[in-house]
Amino acid sequence: MSKDTIRMLLAGTGVMIDGSDPWDITVHDDRLYGRVLRYKSLGLGEAYMDGWWDCPRVDELMYRLLSARVDARIWGNIANLLRALPAVVLNLQSRRRSPIIVERHYDLDNELFLSFLDPYNQYSCAYFEGTDDLDAAQLNKLDLICRKLGLRREDRVLDIGSGWGGFGRYAAERYGCSVVGVNISREQNAYARRFCKGLPVEIRQCDYRDIEGSFDKVVSVGMFEHVGRKNYRSFMNKVLRVLKQGGVFLLHTIGNNVSRRTRDPWMDRYIFPNGELPSVAQIAKAAEGLFVIEDWHNLGPHYDRTLMSWHANFVDAWPRLKERYDERFRRMWEYYLLSCAGAFRARHIQVWQIVMTAQGTPQPVCRV
Give pLDDT tens digits for 18-37.
999 999 999 999 999 999 99
Question: What are the Cα distances from residue 82, in Å, to 76, 227, 276, 285?
Answer: 10, 22, 17, 28
Q: Is the pLDDT of residue 43 over 60?
A: yes
To 10 degrees, the CA torsion angle through 165, 132, 257, 225?
-10
Angle in degrees, CA 314, 121, 113, rounded to 5: 35
To 10 degrees, the CA torsion angle through 104, 108, 112, 118?
80
- Multiple choice CATH, 96-358, 3.40.50.150, 3.40.50.300, 3.30.200.20, 3.40.50.1820: 3.40.50.150
d(CA 34, CA 50): 15
Q: Which tens digit of pLDDT belongs to each residue from 73-104?
A: 664 444 444 444 444 444 555 455 445 545 55
- Confidence band of 276 (pLDDT split at 50, 70, 90): very high
State how beta strands 349-358 and 291-298 pair. antiparallel
Domain borders along the chain are 2-75, 96-358
Higher-scoring residue by pLDDT: 202, 228: 202
Catalytic site residue from 55, 125, 177, 340: 340
Q: Which tens digit of pLDDT belongs to each residue from 307-330?
A: 999 999 999 999 999 999 999 999
Q: Is the pLDDT of residue 183 over 70?
A: yes
φ, ψ of residue 259 to 5 degrees: the values are: -75, 130
Higher-scoring residue by pLDDT: 290, 262: 290
Angle in degrees, CA 20, 23, 26, rounded to 5: 60
Q: Is the pLDDT of residue 122 over 50?
A: yes
Whether residue 340 lies in the annotated active site: yes
Q: Where are the alpha helices (DSSP H) in the chain?
A: 2-10, 31-49, 58-67, 70-73, 78-89, 99-101, 110-114, 134-149, 166-175, 186-195, 232-242, 265-270, 280-287, 300-321, 327-345
Listed range (11-20, 135-144, 302-311) with the worst mean pLDDT: 11-20
* Residues 180 and 202 sit within 8 Å (Cβ to Cβ): yes
What is the maximum span of the chain, computed from C-alpha positions, in angstroms? 68
- Confidence band of 72 (pLDDT split at 50, 70, 90): confident
According to DSSP, the residues that pair with 249 across neighbouring strands are: 218, 356
